[in-house]
Structure 1
Amino acid sequence: MSVDPVYQFTGEQILKRIDEVYPQIMAQLERNTEKYIWGSIKDVEDLRKVRMNAMQQFLSYYDQGLEAGRYVYASLPSLPFEDHQFDLALCSHFLFLYSDHFDLEQHIQGMRELCRVAAEVRVYPLISLDGTPSKHLPVVMEALAADGIESLTQPVDYQFQKGATQMLVAHAV
């Protein structure tokens, strides 16, 4: 099951938005190639192909996923799920990465909500868009501890953005 505010749109609307913003995103990547590790993905053009292929595959099954309830239109900090409905929640490339766009309280509330709906929460990466460690991470971990939620950082095997070597794992004690 996947949750995203983009699921309010049709597949055609999502594709139109991709077509509008994707050239700017790729140009930004081109200007910042030194911030990434080019290994399994060779270069920006290879990344473009990989991402566009993934987007096309996603959109080809999007309507089926919506109908089956696999794609849920919602966003943090308010999820439409029961307490502990899931064993695992994954938050990828949102919390901590956008530390300059979302304040500390939004990060704390987002983590609390994820911990409410899942027995274990994993968040990756823990760096901001500029490649520096998120300024919110230590305080978020303290807030979770005060709520009786254990959180720790663990190394990951995957790294594309330089410095993105850890994930946050949180669960109730």
Structure 2
Amino acid sequence: METTIEKDNNSVTTKDSSKMAFELENTVPWGRNLGEYKAMFNLTGSDLDKRIISFGDGPASFNCEMSQLNKSVVSIDPIYRFSTAELKGRIEQTKDTVMEQTRKNSENFVWTRIKSADELETIRLSAMDSFLDDFEAGKSQGRYVNHQLPDRTPFDDLTFELGLSSHFLILYSQLGLDFHLACMTEMLRVAKQIRIFPLLDLDAKRSELLDSLVEHFRTDYRVGLEKTGYEFQKKGDQMLTIKRR
């Protein structure tokens, strides 16, 4: 069964653990850029030189910009099963609604790094345009992989040095603890460490799953909560880090 919920006040489609078709008409693509990824995940210069896998990237320009810098990133998302034309059309269909919702709920955001809704729209559309321009080449190079967690990814154990998840895991607490544990276990199978941002749920409250996730993984991993250099959703300035001991 599919569930349409809010992401930064924008509708996106996620799935519960049932095996159902992923439908483009129930998604609202929305992408961030490399600068935002650096701030959200406290990415240092040495981090950017690592082999990175990024889950739920959607139409972010992170992969495109990293590729231009000759860095190694594989992005994972179920929307990558669709064509450039289909994704572009869906962005065009939904962007006005997204921005209308953002303006109506402007009090829920911190307007410091991004100064206004107009600037936000410019940044997001620029990121998504860069993604669309890069998408076909990136798919042929294996940089964009159609995949949906918590299914097993097509990679060997510890293929990557760093795994990222932006505005997906933890944010959608209604997907349940078992779903999150399965997703994060698969992330940790293929990556030596993972970082997840933010730690709030869709009501901008500390996720009810967080303590259970920390308790589960701290037995075998080093688990930490770190303040980041990014806050757009109010109080959303922390990430979860899980590293091999």
Write out aligned runs for 1:11-160 (5 A): 11-78=84-151, 79-100=153-174, 102-146=175-219, 148-160=220-232
1:48-97 superposed Cα distances (whole Å, 9 cap, x missing partner): 11101111111011111011110011021122211111000011110011
- CA distance in structure 1 between the aligned counterparts of 2:145 and 2:81, rounded to whole angstroms: 8
Q: Secondary structure at the match of 1:86?
A: coil
1:170 alignment counterpart: 242
1:66 partner amino acid: K
Shift of 1:150: 2.3
Q: Which runs of 4+ in 1 moved over 3 A?
A: none
1:136-170 superposed Cα distances (whole Å, 9 cap, x missing partner): 11101112134x12211011011111111110000
TM-score, L = length of structure 1: 0.94
- CA distance in structure 2 between the aligned counterparts of 1:80 and 1:142, rounded to whole angstroms: 28
Q: Structure 1: any 5+ residue segments left out of the alignment?
A: none
Shift of 1:45: 1.4
Q: Secondary structure at the match of 1:131?
A: coil
Q: RMSD of the TM alignment (CA)? A: 1.1
Give the % identical residues.
36
TM-score, L = length of structure 2: 0.67
- CA distance in structure 2 between the aligned counterparts of 1:137 and 1:159, rounded to whole angstroms: 19
- CA distance in structure 1 between the aligned counterparts of 2:170 and 2:97, rounded to whole angstroms: 22
1:3 alignment counterpart: 76
- CA distance in structure 1 between the aligned counterparts of 2:221 and 2:95, rounded to whole angstroms: 38
- CA distance in structure 1 between the aligned counterparts of 2:154 and 2:160, rounded to whole angstroms: 12
- CA distance in structure 1 between the aligned counterparts of 2:231 and 2:163, rounded to whole angstroms: 20
Shift of 1:19: 1.5
Moved more, 86-95 or 28-37: 28-37
- CA distance in structure 2 between the aligned counterparts of 1:165 and 1:41, rounded to whole angstroms: 14
- CA distance in structure 1 between the aligned counterparts of 2:165 and 2:136, rounded to whole angstroms: 23
- In the comparison of the two structures, how many residue pairs are matched? 171
Shift of 1:172: 2.1
The structure in which a higher percent of residues are helix is 1
